[in-house]
Structure 1
């Protein structure tokens, strides 16, 4: 399929396809007109297809090469009447027209591993990128900041580490960001665009700090600075249903005080009539024992 000269849309999602897409290409210019690549929810393995990222011509400089996209009446007919269902910004959508500048890559829910190559930044006209739910490792490449028209970026549920590149603040069209469930650290970059993203964009990264998270950062190096209360909570042994050791101690303490008080009252003022009639053979001290047993059993 790499050599098909007019292939613009390739959707193979939700199958059981497998194999390695990072093998050497048989074409000098693979998929040169491809605008939509969706192979999500399959079983592909290996590293991400760096060769393709370097050669997706229809995802590079679309504004400048706009006239090159439509070369015949057949191209115009396809762009006008194509119908496809894809996931954009986390929502399943049906598109009945392929705009000239519409570009998307969805490689989510596979078994890709390794790092995200810097060459992905060559796709400076890419609108939507989804690499979530794979086994990707390493840092988020700063070259993503070159994709100035990017509207949606989903890198969630991987094993990415390191800081969030400050270059991502250049993505002024970014409306959807999901970096959750990774191992990212340090301060979240601050910009007008990043201030629009909520906590769910970063959940599951325990060493991230800064707005919009409640974890504060050390002003000197931007590392996470944990409040004393949070450190104390980590040292506590939790109990089922949310009861900590403080609650248990308070409960036992209150029970002991009430029990001792009740026992002293019996010793001083005599046994209650209901105790006397039912348990006249039991010694006063046994009342305290019975009370404790009934209190906690």
Structure 2
């Protein structure tokens, strides 16, 4: 019996890609008599809006989806995330990073595209950190991969893996060796909200009892660092299924930033929920 979840961020309206992902997770749970959960990942106050959350609920109801239990909103659990950060910091696994994104990019210089996401700047010197704290400079909490490796031991580090029931972008499937270094010393506590995506999502999957994380292939690489966090916190290991991303007629994947046609626009144009479900490969009866 599976427990799956759909976890959108209320930063815009849902599109076909969201519908496919939600239906895939919902179907997997319902086919096994399991649970399907809805989580609103609204930790970014600059982009998340109540009206988008209301629209998400409207679209999911229109699709014919139901979920078990109340909707979980991450913004209502910031204290829980803060406690996890405090635990990791007390164990010496985090360090304060006062650097701005521009400073990190400048330090990288001519590094390949995307290297900013795998940066490992390391902690500031004790004197510099004390000065920056005294000045009131904002800082993020970064996970130290070096300290994490020491904490779990070399044998456990080398054997870290996650189970992929679907396929990654390059066809990866089965038991996948974890490569945390590809993500670098990721931010787990943001300067503005106090928590970052990787920590919030792994925490919530653990406390909600999610057994199968079903999501798009664009999040495949996130599994590496999330599996490490689960290990550090002794949280259960879910199975993963990364599904292909839907693309439009031009071959571009659906995305909010590209103003892809939303479910609301499809609905207003006369497309029925049954029509859309059939197009996406799901019968109207589930």
Normalised by the shorter chain, which TM-score bucket?
under 0.3
Look at both structures and tell me which one has the larger radius of gyration over its CA atoms.
1
Structure (1 or 2) with the greater strand fraction = 1
Q: Which has the higher contact order (CA 8 A, sep 6+)?
A: 2
Q: TM-score, normalised by structure 2?
A: 0.22
Structure (1 or 2) with the greater helix fraction = 2
